[in-house]
Homo-oligomer: A and B are copies of this chain.
Amino acid sequence: MNNFTFCIPTDIRFGKGQIACLAAELEKYGKRILMVYGGGSIKKSGLYDEVYSVLKDFEIEELPGIEPNPKLSSVEKGATLCRKKNIDMILAVGGGSVIDVSKHISCAACYDGPAWDLMMDRSKVKKALPVAVVLTISATGSEMNSGAVITNEDTKEKLEINTPLLYPVISVCDPSYLYTLPPKQTAAGAVDTLSHVMEQYFQPNDEAYITDALSEAVMKTVIRYAKKAMDEPENYEARSNLMWASTVALNHLLTVGKGGAWSVHPIEHVVSAYYDLTHAVGLSILTPTWMKYVLSDVTEKRIAGFAREVFGVKEADDRKAAEKGIEKVEGFLHSLGMPSTFSEVGIDDSMFDTMASEAIRTSGLSERAYVHLNKDDVKKIFMMCK
C-alpha cells in the first residue's frame, strides 16, 4: 500500500428527519446564513419550507437558481452577498453543483479580489466560511469531501479546487429527500457513483487489497439498488444504500494506499465540455469501451477479478471472465436506460481529434492512468463509441 493520510472532519447526519439537528449545530457558527439552492424542486418537495421552519431563529439570505455545472458568476454573486450581509455560514441545499458552488463561495467570501484568482493560485485560499449541506441528490460525494468544481464561462475552463478548508462542517443526508428524484437522475447518480469507484479501483497499485475489496462492496451496492430505486422511488432501503454508497465512493476511503490518475472522467469531461451532455451519459458510453480498449494480457487479471467480485462472474479463465465482466457493465448501464454510443446522443466524429488532444493535455492519462493512453488511444476509444 502507498502511504496516505486520512482525515475527514465532516459531521454526517444520515437518515430520516436528521434535519432537525441543524439549528443546534449551526448555532455554533453564528446567526446569518446564505442558503444556496438550485431550481424549484426543493420548493415543490416541501424541503424549502422545512429548512425555514427548522432554522426559524436564523437570518437567511438566499442564492437560488444554481444550475448544473455551476458557474463562476454564481460564485461572485454569492461572495458579494456574503460580504454585504456579513454572512456567518453557507447552507447548500441540493446536490453536487449546489455544494460545489457553495464551497467556492465560502473561500471567495474571505478573499479580497476576484474569485477566479483562487483557482489560478490555490495558495491564496487561506480562509473559508463554514459550509453546511442538506443533500438532495446523491452522486458526487461532495457532501463529505474537500473538492469543488467550477466553470469559468469566459475562459471555458472547468477547474477543481481541493483543500481541507472545503470539507462541509455538517451534511444532512436524508434518503427520503431522494424520493422525488426522477428515474433519469437516479440512474445518473448511480452511474456517477459506480464510475467514481471504478476510477479508483483501476489504478496501478494492486497491493492495497483492502481498498479494492471495500471498493467492490460499494460497486455491488450500486448495482444491487440502482434499478430498484428507479422502479420504486420510495424504497428506503434502496435510497439509503445508494445515498451512503455515493458518499463513501468519493470520501477518500476507496483511494487510500493506491494512487494514479483517473481514466474515464478526464475523457468524458472533454466530451461534455464540447457537447451539452449529462456527465453520467458520457460515462456510460465511454466506460465499457475504455474497458475493452485496455483489456490485455496485463490487465485481464484485474478486470477478471472485478467481474468475479462485483458481478459474480464464474468463468475461470481470466480473459473470458474479463470479457464477461465488460458485458455485465454494459448490461447494467443498459438496464438503467443509459445510451451506449455517441450516435444515440447526436455526437459525430468531427471533434474526436480535438477532444482527444484536449483530454491528453488536461489530464494525467498519458503518464499516471491505469493504462497509459496517448492521443491516438483516446481517438480510437472515441471511434469505438461511434
Contacts and interface: CB of A to CB of B under 8 A. Distances in A.
Interface in A172-217: 175, 207-211, 213-214, 216-217
A210 B224 CA distance: 10
A210 B244 contact: yes
A357 interface: no
Contacts of A225: 209
Interface in A18-66: 18
B237 A224 contact: no
Contacts of A210: 217-218, 221, 241, 244-245, 248
A51 to B, nearest CB: 19
Interface residues of A, number: 43
Contacts of A218: 210, 213-214
A10 B9 CA distance: 8
A14 B6 contact: yes
Given A9-B9, A237-B1, A241-B1, A14 B256 contact: yes
Contacts of A5: 11-14
A16 interface: yes
A9 B170 CA distance: 12
Contacts of A207: 236-237, 240-241
Nearest to A211: B244
Contacts of A12: 4-7
Contacts of A123: none
Interface in A244-278: 244-245, 248, 253, 256-257
A5 B244 CA distance: 12
A260 to B, nearest CB: 16
Nearest to A14: B4
A210 B237 CA distance: 10
A24 to B, nearest CB: 13
Interface string A219-237: 0110011000000000011
A125 interface: no
Contacts of A3: 14-18
A332 to B, nearest CB: 16
A354 to B, nearest CB: 40
A329 to B, nearest CB: 18
B9 A7 contact: yes
A240 B217 CA distance: 20
A373 interface: no
A119 interface: no
Contacts of A253: 253
A171 B11 CA distance: 20
A178 to B, nearest CB: 13
A221 B209 contact: yes
30 contacts: A1-B14, A1-B175, A1-B237, A1-B244, A3-B15, A3-B17, A3-B18, A4-B14, A4-B15, A5-B11, A5-B13, A6-B11, A6-B12, A7-B9, A7-B10, A14-B257, A207-B236, A207-B240, A208-B241, A209-B221, A209-B225, A209-B237, A210-B245, A210-B248, A213-B217, A213-B220, A213-B221, A214-B217, A214-B218, A253-B253
